[in-house]
Amino acid sequence: MTDIVTITLNPAVDLSTAVDEVLPVAKLRGKSQRRDPGGGGINVARVIKRLGGDARAIYPVGGAIGTLLRQLLDEEGITSHTWTIAGETREDFFVDEISAGRQYRFILPGPRLDEIEWKECLKLVAEIEPFPRFLVASGSLPDGVPDDFHAQIARIVKQRGARMMLDTSGPALAAAAAEGVDLIKPNLREMRELTGSEPSDAYAWEVAAKELVEKGKASIVALTMGHHGAALVTRDQVLRAPPIPITPRSAVGAGDSFLAALVWRLASGASRADAFRLAVAAGAATLLHPGTELCRPDDVARLADQVTIETA
């Protein structure tokens, strides 16, 4: 039995390279080339597998890029449950500018899903046997998918007595929070959108997260706050972690790695504090590597020793 299943409605193959300098008009010759599976839930499944756990990934595939995506995940040992869509699976494009130490991230919209296509995902989830203890929905919704899609998933998860963990944004996050889920993982931008507020410091952000918990939007709010660090907020506990001082190389997938480590450790029976510690380390470890390489287990273990957890 797999305890964790992930859902990615808008997956991608991520193409990354590096150039000396980004200039208009000129031909920019890449120094390297790599392709990685991408999309929120897919990244979560990859990191859980890498850390020693097991997660199945549910996602749509379309065209040659969809075939490549499935192949890349097969190579990483990820069990996939897919369905075919008419549109082509998207590619995203990341460029590291060596001279300035900057990264450019081009996120493409992906294919539109019609009603039959997105409802196929609901059918796949409803028919999972045995049903997982944790279902992780992560990433954006493509065109054609209603804002309450994740809320519909949450209702299925509740009916099966499982836990719904969510990382999305905008109206999709608001609709799912109105339904109520077990965990949400917003960053500061997503918190602004969800709460309509602009707290002035980390403590005020924690208060805003606590209000979401008290209103029944989520049992746990895992809040990533950039240079303010991160917080894990429940009804009876607030855990804080300052950022680990590192030099970032790429921000792609850091939030996905954070969520993956958090869910995996919770599913393994770890305490919230231990799960939070590993999550902070996994998010930071992802910043050390190019493209969508995500975190490496040895980096996660090393950085976990540097995470300081404070309890409010």
Tokens found for residue 7 = 């859902």
Between CA 9 and CA 248 the distance in angstroms is: 28
Contact at 8 Å (CB) between 38 and 60? Answer: no
Contact at 8 Å (CB) between 238 and 311? Answer: yes
Strands 181-184 and 218-224: parallel
Between CA 83 and CA 58 the distance in angstroms is: 9
Contact at 8 Å (CB) between 21 and 151? Answer: no
Which residue spans within the chain are E strands per DSSP? 4-7, 12-19, 34-38, 55-61, 79-84, 90-97, 102-106, 134-138, 163-167, 181-184, 218-224, 230-233, 238-241, 310-311
Q: Quick one: which of 109, 9, 61, 48 has its CA closest to 256? A: 48
Between CA 162 and CA 108 the distance in angstroms is: 33
Between CA 34 and CA 212 the distance in angstroms is: 40
SS3 173: helix
Helices within 170-253 (DSSP H only): 170-179, 188-195, 202-214
Respond yes or no: is residue 201 known to be catalytic.
no
Of the candidates 14, 167, 256, 299, the residue annotated as catalytic is 256
Task: Give me the active site residues, please.
Answer: 256
